[in-house]
Amino acid sequence: MTPLGQRLAETIRRDGPIGVDAFMAAALGDPEHGYYQTRDPLGAAGDFTTAPEISQVFGEIIGLWLADQWASTGSPDPVQLVELGPGRGTLMADLLRAMAVLPAARKAIRLHLVETSPVLRERQAETLQRFHPDLTPRWHDTLDTVPPGPLLMVANEFFDALPIRQFQAENGGWHERLIGLGDEDDFAFTLGPAADPPVPPPPAVDGAIFETAEPGLAVAREVGKRLAAAPGAALLIDYGHGRTAVGETLQAVRAHRYAPVLADPGLADLTAHVDFAALAEALADGGAASFGPVTQRSFLIANGAAQRVAALTHSKAPEPAAAISHAVARLLDPAQMGSLFKVLAATSPGRPVPSGFQRGSAAE
């Protein structure tokens, strides 16, 4: 067992089973042994790859979308540009380059990065220093310390990394699903006392599992409040479902393969599908208007993915041109990232429908 596993096992022996949220929070965020605290997990040598690491087109399209929102909200100067969970800083570097199509927008930016990992903060600093040395990013542990005011925000694969709770249907009621110790002192799921999930679950048969993500909903509520108080827009991109649904989605990934979720806490990435309907409701609770989610494919195509690929491949030799097209195809292909990944937009209330969305549109 990992050192973090031993500590969690001691806690369970002493105090009884813990929630999936406590397990996940420790596995990902423990200051000493947490997965994100100790490594850069991204890319071929790491555990998983994300859209901005696959193609620059992803960040460029988001940058154009944000620049458009900035212009249509009265060109606020200054504007707080915030990214939640910026990874290696690749998405931010790409979107800033694209935002420079509106030099006044690029100049109005005050950059804020919400990131808990010291390793990734360092990567972000390097990337941004290299490509955008005129900006002085400020780092935050949470959104709360970002100054108020006009806001542009993006989060890619951030919400899937926040702790979830699991509930299991039994005899017509719900019980929280907890993590205790099995016969061989390994971690094992167990049922807690009867407890209603904090988000109303759809009808479910016995044995069904329902997941809720309060920390993510609290962040979305805060984003909603900020967009209600000042002009702005946000894009929340992640993998998940458009409607609240039952189903167990907690997964562990290590070296680009699925791993058992309870083995080796701290050594594997743990994520769960995002419930976009619940996120949209939390944004609305805060006072923002929300749009979508639409599929990543539909968002990128509607915002010019094909044109951007044409521009990038135009004067390239066949091989590099094919590599660019192939990378973007991975983002668009419904069998790869095009359909499971979804994009939810939020704006200040009373704004026109943002580019790539329709009023009331939803993806499954």
Q: Which residues of the chain form contacts with ligand SAH (CB under 6 A)?
A: 28-29, 36, 42, 50, 52-53, 85-87, 91, 114-117, 120, 156-158, 161-162
Instruction: Name the minimum Å distance from CB 138 to ligand SAH.
Output: 14
Instruction: Name the minimum Å distance from CB 56 to ligand SAH.
Output: 12
Q: State CA 319 to chain mean position distance.
A: 32
Residue 209's DSSP bridge partners are 168
Three-class DSSP labels, 229-283 = HCCEEEEEEEEEECCCCCCCCCEEEECCEEECCCCCCCCCEEECCEEHHHHHHHH
Instruction: Name the minimum Å distance from CB 267 to ligand SAH.
Output: 15
Nearer to ligand SAH, 69 or 116 (CB): 116
Nearer to ligand SAH, 102 or 331 (CB): 331
Among residues 60, 105, 115, the alpha carbon closest in space to that of 83 is found at 115
Nearer to ligand SAH, 19 or 180 (CB): 19
Among residues 214, 243, 252, 263, the alpha carbon closest in space to that of 361 is found at 243
Nearer to ligand SAH, 121 or 225 (CB): 121
Question: Structure tokens of 28?
Answer: 């990902």
Backbone angles phi, psi at 84, to 5 degrees: -95, 125
DSSP string covering 104-144: HHHHHEEEEEE---HHHHHHHHHHHHHH-TT---EEESSGG
Instruction: Name the minimum Å distance from CB 319 to ligand SAH.
Output: 26
DSSP string covering 274-331: EEHHHHHHHHHHHT-EEEEEEEHHHHHHHTTHHHHHHHHHTTS-HHHHHHHHHHHHHH
Nearer to ligand SAH, 5 or 89 (CB): 89
Nearer to ligand SAH, 59 or 356 (CB): 59
Instruction: Name the minimum Å distance from CB 48 to ligand SAH.
Output: 8
Q: Which residue is nearest to ligand SAH (CB)?
A: 85
Instruction: Name the minimum Å distance from CB 35 to ligand SAH.
Output: 9
Nearer to ligand SAH, 73 or 124 (CB): 124
Give the angle subtended at the CA of 29 by the CAs of 115 and 249, to the nearest 5°: 100
Instruction: Name the minimum Å distance from CB 113 to ligand SAH.
Output: 9
